[in-house]
Amino acid sequence: MIDAKNITVKIDDKTLVNNVSMRLEPGKFSVILGKNGAGKSTFLKALTGDITPFEGMVLVNGKNLDSVSPVKLARKRAVMMQELHLSFSFTALEVVLMGRSPHSSGFESAGDQKIAMECLKRAGVDHLADRAFPTLSGGEKQRVQFARMLAQLWDRVQQQLPCCLLLDEPLSSLDLAHQHNMMHLVKSLSRSGVAVMMILHDLNLAAQYADEVHVMKEGRTFALGSPHEVFKPEIIEMAFDCPVHIMQHPHHRCPLVIASNQIDERMRKVI
Ligand SMILES: Nc1ncnc2c1ncn2[C@@H]1O[C@H](COP(=O)(O)OP(=O)(O)OP(=O)(O)O)[C@@H](O)[C@H]1O
């Protein structure tokens, strides 16, 4: 559905992403991992068209991203960036209704309102519908944002038509239970035909839920494969510059990554 081919992004003389390719397919849950500054968000911005790559191309159903009309694209591809900056004090419901704008001709219908409320409910934040978005906690904002994306893709998800979700660290403010709730929700969306790409920092959530893991290091693809193929000490230690133990999860049978308690030498000096 979305095919990023040999993407290179440069800013001034600095190469932030170097020849990275990725294929997002309906039914596949892909996770991008990598240490801070590895180039994950920059690659995502190239995938969404927010940044024009220096080299390479992004195809949506075989067509160049630039040639797809923004409204058509918005009906089948939703993006959740790290932060949503709003100039006005919209309510949570109004934020979710924004997800319906590619489907309406200026005014949201009663049907759109119903869908927006249902999406707030699925994200567990329907009780916050009338609250001003800026007054919500970090985790509540993330769940409302997730509801907005769900509202955007609602029609295609209901009809099990291919569509795509791109998420940049959507769990960063969520507590343990809500992290797993959202991962379950995303996994079930992928199983109903949504192509998912998520940037994560939690290796164990990736190991438990992802179909494919893409590890980036210094702007390049460092490792790519299933969690069982990628979660090997030699790969993870080099990718993250951190010693780890990797064992089998006692319940889920997926890899379980435990960071060794050795502290980075530079940190040791500060402490
Ligand atoms: N506009 C810019 N100008 C200069 N450098 C930039 C710019 N945008 C990003 N960078 C640098 O490019 C590198 C990759 O940034 P990016 O945000 O893609 O990393 P990331 O892997 O998403 O990191 P994190 O896990 O910390 O969010 C970083 O070193 C960042 O400082």
Q: Which atom of ligand 1 is nearest to the CA of 82?
A: 27
50 lines ligand 1 (CB under 6 A): no
pTM over 0.90: yes
Which of 18, 36, 42, 198 for mutating ligand 1's site (highest number of atoms within 8 Å of CB)?
A: 42
Which stretches of the chain score pLDDT less than 50? Answer: none
Between CA 94 and CA 76 the distance in angstroms is 20
What is the model's pLDDT at position 268?
62
- CATH code for the part of the protein at 1-76+162-178+187-232: 3.40.50.300
User: CA–CA distance from 128 to each of 20, 120, 137, 150, 188 (Å)?
Assistant: 40, 8, 11, 16, 24
Between CA 91 and CA 256 the distance in angstroms is 40
* In the chain, domain spans: 1-76+162-178+187-232, 86-160
Rounded to the nearest 10 degrees, what angle do helices 138-158 and 176-191 cross at?
10
Minimum CA distance residue for ligand 1 atom 18: 39
pLDDT digits (tens, 9 = 90+) for 8-54: 999 998 999 999 999 999 999 999 999 999 999 999 999 999 999 99
Minimum CA distance residue for ligand 1 atom 19: 37
Minimum CA distance residue for ligand 1 atom 2: 11
18 lines ligand 1 (CB under 6 A): no
* Interface TM-score (ipTM) > 0.90: yes
